[in-house]
Structure 1
């Protein structure tokens, strides 16, 4: 017999949904706690025109606050900050249409590049180093940062509207959105040229659109029902097209959808199998198939834009590389042969390897004794100085043809300094500035060919290529590894050599051979002539899109799994919820200013407290219900096990998987989970100030499901005061525009946070 319909049951404070008369009186019997990942929704609005106006005004106010916090001093610093090194560079490559390789999908990067193109950025500036000046290089960096700031601002009203659609009071909406609006970590991450602003707003949009969709469950297959289901799928596609951790948002919504379909399959719904199949197909197509094709579409555009050879070539197969035309770099990249005279440039400092006929002093200022060998340094200015010229020689000279013998990455070789006619060498003597590192020097040809021959042997260690590939100027990034002592040639510009070395950069042997600071390039071949000097464009072939996409996917996941090396600011997930540490983004030594990525700590602690409170409430409710003692109203349990549990499950899905990941992890990976925890915490906080007891458990005059408005608003104001005060307190290290005294720096070193300039 068909079940009866049209009985109504409250699931919010004023919202209703259709239920079956055959349902159990006890809500816990009808909802599985583990799988009830869907919001308490309704098909009717509960706010009248007056309250709707209040919500609108409040949303505008909190959005304005978010705008101010993200756009305040957005022009400062006018230098490259933290990972702007990477994502600004990728925008340059898009504009120049040169191929590059990155671990993340292209959507957010193309968005940055599109803004750059709109404002006239030509892509010549490559964001090489933290601290590079935007002003000196005439870079329109403010519009690029404004993209992130706009997206970060719009995330806040999406949170507000999500809580409103879940039927929470205006103060709960303000609290939940304010936790993100005044969070220092969200502000720092969403006002720079980074991907996370796009990721976070896509997560917020996915949750909001799905909530809107579930409110239409009693009006299936209508225009609005399809609209919000489609928008949910589009938002999910934006998440996964920005970073692959977006798959966690897919799981969050997917679990809710699976539970919803499971409930629809129940015979009590009265749906036929054909009707249920229609529900399943609609969700499958609009939440999986369409988002996947949108995701593929970004890669199609990615390949269509990047048609020229570039720095990412070396990662790809030879077949893939044949689909790329020659870039400016390709025109300048020349194959290197043995006996070529070359110049060698340090990747990080843009300095040229140099030597001159002056020796290290017998004693340094600290009393250490040197080898008194010929100085090897690095210089900024080139000026066609023969002191920067080096001849690359094979390990053993033979009687065969000296020309046309290409140098391969991975080869062992020797370097002869042309100006002083000696061999480059490093040995177990402490360098001038780093006692733990080895000194570099130049020795005579006679000595290098006899008893010190082995000390003159170096080996190319490819960074972005493969062993046995031919070494090229400009394009091949390599390390110079010393064969006998296994150190890497390194230079630095933080401290310069004294007057006896003309204040040039020190060159030494670094034992940390995997560091990217050891990277060099062969800048050019001196006096190149003949056929090698000519540029011959290569023919461009075609490769099917899916083959290119599959090859790139495989490489992206492979290299992502290799990101397991240690980093001074990496952190583990167990430290994230309490914001135990942070990340240094930028420093200015002269002004003693810094940008340090850290959250609004009281807000993060509040989220942890609400998770604990929710756990206690659920345990208490389960214990009492198990003894047939039912204290909470059905409406309260609906909020507890539907809305609250949906937000909590989404939070846990975005957080717990990081414990299983072996790659480098940083605090910014927690931001999507933090956003979901903010929604959860605000909803639980309102629950605490609501009379959730059944009528028989209420005292005289009390009404079930009523909010203690005065007490609740008072505590919300208190929380907002704490959040804003804490935000202002940490603002100097969020914006980096204030010089702090050592005492002021130390006062901000909460938990395990280690800031610069504390002495």
Structure 2
């Protein structure tokens, strides 16, 4: 796969034909090249109008299909509750947390800022009315709709720049233009329009860059290289699945570099200094600049969000101290020995809890437990969550109350059961590698089990001797004798019925994990007039950008991987190419209207079938070659493996990785891969019908090369009536088949349009008629 564009040595529209470097530079060859160039440019000038006209038409249709009825419904739809809310938080400069990078959300905030919106509406519930809340929702929705329309234009441009015939360009473009999923996703306040647009733009820019490989380091060469990097940066700055686009472009870039380094070539091989320049240029254009742009959007994110908000809880106290009006900092209370405190796990938010019930003597897997008092994680506030913090001395004197500090060795007494927190070398209920947490009575705690009741307070990023406070001190509770940290995690199975389905608490030997963190929520019963409640006005602190960025990255990756809970409309990757189910976005029971996220079944099934056909063609070709049968000419094979193969790589890179993901997945995750499958479909259509190249169609590559050797006159005077007649018949057949397919595609788009646009409402019979694969549509009864 040496290039994304055709490997045929033929003239590209608007470019100069590339002479064969192995033919030398004799006077005759130079004259021949010049004559062929003039002929090519003359032909391009007379034939480009059809492509340009087609591009204008599909662009207009793209805007019509995306903007039609964009004001309906005038209610919050599906995930608009998230991304509309984030735009409002930006406008209010209130800190929030999300698992996606900021670029796409900043664009929505920019749209709201342009129309003068203040972000007062927070998109709390699906179905909330925009008009009554005075929300400029059409302006918000216009941003992704415009991107969706431009994506159609870019798909056409990719095919055109890759040298495909007009019917092939139209087939690929129509698969996106008339796709109900692309339309539905780009008419709402969602991120996928931004993601798909810049993914397609990355492919187009790379193709333009690759076509200039024979004029390296020219202005245009640098322009398209840098635009490729900028586009890829916008993809990954919208969603982290943008990494798949980097892989899609990275593979052909590495192959191209390998070709440049091919020392076995007789002519044209680069010296190592020249190769180093090529390598450095690609590192700068495709890695360094995209990464700097990626960081830039986070800098904008931090610069805007300066006020305390709902995202505070996901960040460390040090980070929260950089936000104005931070409640955690304002409500922090110093903790003294003898206080009763409630401790919560930072990530799962469960309280450290105990009760009189004991662990079973033997677990289901046959392991023996201590059969002592259970210590669990409980999600609700309860008196069983209270623990008295005491100094490490066996008989503490609480008459003189002192401040608890970072690094202190402490003990915890459970208030309700009057027992002492302890961990020991006994396996926990579900994890044999982790220690069991339990409680023991006074006699054991003061006798031979005393050492097992000792714990060290380690405040995260705390200084030695730092005051231990509620809310603002995230800490690890480390068992002093065995050096394990008190821990729980959402992936740990809940305890069985004997543990009341509560969370398991155990001792984690890996002290470095950020999931070991806890915080003290409150000190119950502290008098209102206590000196500890007096607050000094705190100044907003500052942190270095990279420290804030790295902390946010850790939190984003952690919570993204934690999105494993079930969802009624979640689906598996194996379902997507076959469009086995969709997602209900919005319903109106009174009018029987609904928005159901679903692709165009005709287009999706056709594109998926073509992917299978391409794999079959490649397999058959490889078998034929190994049997000494050369069924394809060199030009057709090169185009099949390079151009079509590049599109197939994009599809695979944006689809197959989802099989190894553990998070929730939905149909919209397939949209970038679907766009790539549309490109493959257009390319395979041209291959099957064997259309003659649209430019220099009067000459074969062999004739052009022969003309270069003998002089251009011999090329222009060779008649080809038979070949031209066959090419004409092939082109006519392709036009007929393409238009017939596009007509069926348009019919399917219109048939499912009421589910895409949410209007008009359908009767029961009309809904049932659209349940092709038992799609779980509403109002079918």
**CA pair 751-99 structure 1, distance change in 2 beyond 3 A:** same
| Aligned-residue offset at 1:637 | 1.4
Q: Is contact 2:321-2:329 (8 Å) kept? A: no
The 5 Å alignment of 1:143-542 reads 143-267=139-263, 268=265, 269-326=268-325, 538-542=538-542
Matched, 1:681 2:681: yes
| Aligned-residue offset at 1:749 | 1.3
- Match in the other structure for 2:130: 134
Looking at structure 2, the residues matched to 45 and 642 of structure 1 have their Cα atoms a distance apart, in angstroms, of 25
Q: Secondary structure at the match of 2:577?
A: coil
- Match in the other structure for 2:654: 654
| Aligned-residue offset at 1:397 | 14
| Aligned-residue offset at 1:172 | 1.9
Aligned residues: 580
**CA pair 197-75 structure 1, distance change in 2 beyond 3 A:** same
Q: Is contact 1:11-1:639 (8 Å) kept? A: no
| Aligned-residue offset at 1:157 | 0.6
Looking at structure 2, the residues matched to 576 and 152 of structure 1 have their Cα atoms a distance apart, in angstroms, of 20
- Match in the other structure for 2:594: 594
Looking at structure 1, the residues matched to 315 and 552 of structure 2 have their Cα atoms a distance apart, in angstroms, of 8
- State TM-score, norm by structure 2: 0.67
- Deviation per residue, 1:263-289 (Å, 9 max, x gap): 000122231111111111001111000
Looking at structure 2, the residues matched to 82 and 413 of structure 1 have their Cα atoms a distance apart, in angstroms, of 45
| Aligned-residue offset at 1:631 | 3.0
| Aligned-residue offset at 1:154 | 0.5
| Aligned-residue offset at 1:171 | 2.2
**CA pair 413-256 structure 1, distance change in 2 beyond 3 A:** farther
Looking at structure 2, the residues matched to 597 and 734 of structure 1 have their Cα atoms a distance apart, in angstroms, of 7
Question: More relative contact order in 1 or in 2 (CA 8 Å, sep 6+)?
Answer: 2
Matched, 1:545 2:566: no
| Aligned-residue offset at 1:49 | 2.6
Q: Secondary structure at the match of 2:48?
A: helix
Alignment partner of 1:104 out of 97, 100, 122: 100
Q: Secondary structure at the match of 1:311?
A: coil
Looking at structure 2, the residues matched to 191 and 608 of structure 1 have their Cα atoms a distance apart, in angstroms, of 25
Looking at structure 1, the residues matched to 657 and 608 of structure 2 have their Cα atoms a distance apart, in angstroms, of 18
Looking at structure 1, the residues matched to 62 and 633 of structure 2 have their Cα atoms a distance apart, in angstroms, of 36
**CA pair 325-616 structure 1, distance change in 2 beyond 3 A:** same
Q: Is contact 1:334-1:532 (8 Å) kept? A: no
Looking at structure 1, the residues matched to 567 and 560 of structure 2 have their Cα atoms a distance apart, in angstroms, of 15
- Deviation per residue, 1:173-209 (Å, 9 max, x gap): 2221111111000001001001111000000100000
Looking at structure 1, the residues matched to 691 and 384 of structure 2 have their Cα atoms a distance apart, in angstroms, of 84
Q: Is contact 1:635-1:705 (8 Å) kept? A: no
- Match in the other structure for 1:500: none
| Aligned-residue offset at 1:610 | 1.2
- Deviation per residue, 1:460-495 (Å, 9 max, x gap): xxxxxxxx99689xxxxxxxxxx999699xxxxxxx
Looking at structure 2, the residues matched to 735 and 544 of structure 1 have their Cα atoms a distance apart, in angstroms, of 46
**CA pair 470-74 structure 1, distance change in 2 beyond 3 A:** farther
Q: Secondary structure at the match of 1:587?
A: strand
Looking at structure 1, the residues matched to 649 and 774 of structure 2 have their Cα atoms a distance apart, in angstroms, of 28
Q: Secondary structure at the match of 1:131?
A: coil
Q: Secondary structure at the match of 2:596?
A: strand
**CA pair 188-330 structure 1, distance change in 2 beyond 3 A:** farther
**CA pair 535-112 structure 1, distance change in 2 beyond 3 A:** farther
Unaligned runs of 5+ in 2: 1-6, 25-39, 336-380, 389-397, 400-412, 417-467, 473-496, 503-521, 523-527, 694-699, 703-719
Matched, 1:701 2:722: yes
| Aligned-residue offset at 1:19 | 4.3
Q: Is contact 1:10-1:634 (8 Å) kept? A: no
| Aligned-residue offset at 1:578 | 1.0
| Aligned-residue offset at 1:690 | 1.4
Looking at structure 2, the residues matched to 396 and 234 of structure 1 have their Cα atoms a distance apart, in angstroms, of 53
- Deviation per residue, 1:137-173 (Å, 9 max, x gap): 0000000000000011101111111111111122222
- Match in the other structure for 2:585: 585
- Deviation per residue, 1:36-63 (Å, 9 max, x gap): xxxxxxxx87962332222111111111
Q: Is contact 2:165-2:691 (8 Å) kept? A: no
Looking at structure 2, the residues matched to 224 and 128 of structure 1 have their Cα atoms a distance apart, in angstroms, of 48
Looking at structure 1, the residues matched to 588 and 165 of structure 2 have their Cα atoms a distance apart, in angstroms, of 45
Largest Rg, 1 or 2 = 2
**CA pair 412-622 structure 1, distance change in 2 beyond 3 A:** same
Alignment partner of 2:53 out of 50, 57, 72: 57
Q: Is contact 1:160-1:174 (8 Å) kept? A: yes
Looking at structure 2, the residues matched to 397 and 314 of structure 1 have their Cα atoms a distance apart, in angstroms, of 23
Q: Is contact 1:691-1:707 (8 Å) kept? A: no
The 5 Å alignment of 1:720-739 reads 720-739=742-761
Task: Please report the RMSD computed on the Cα atoms of aligned residues, expressed in angstroms.
Answer: 4.1
Looking at structure 2, the residues matched to 544 and 187 of structure 1 have their Cα atoms a distance apart, in angstroms, of 42
Unaligned runs of 5+ in 1: 1-7, 24-43, 338-390, 402-410, 415-467, 473-482, 489-521, 523-527
**CA pair 635-567 structure 1, distance change in 2 beyond 3 A:** same
**CA pair 559-286 structure 1, distance change in 2 beyond 3 A:** same
- Match in the other structure for 1:95: 91
**CA pair 557-412 structure 1, distance change in 2 beyond 3 A:** farther
Q: Is contact 1:689-1:708 (8 Å) kept? A: yes
| Aligned-residue offset at 1:81 | 0.4
- State TM-score, norm by structure 1: 0.69
| Aligned-residue offset at 1:543 | 0.8
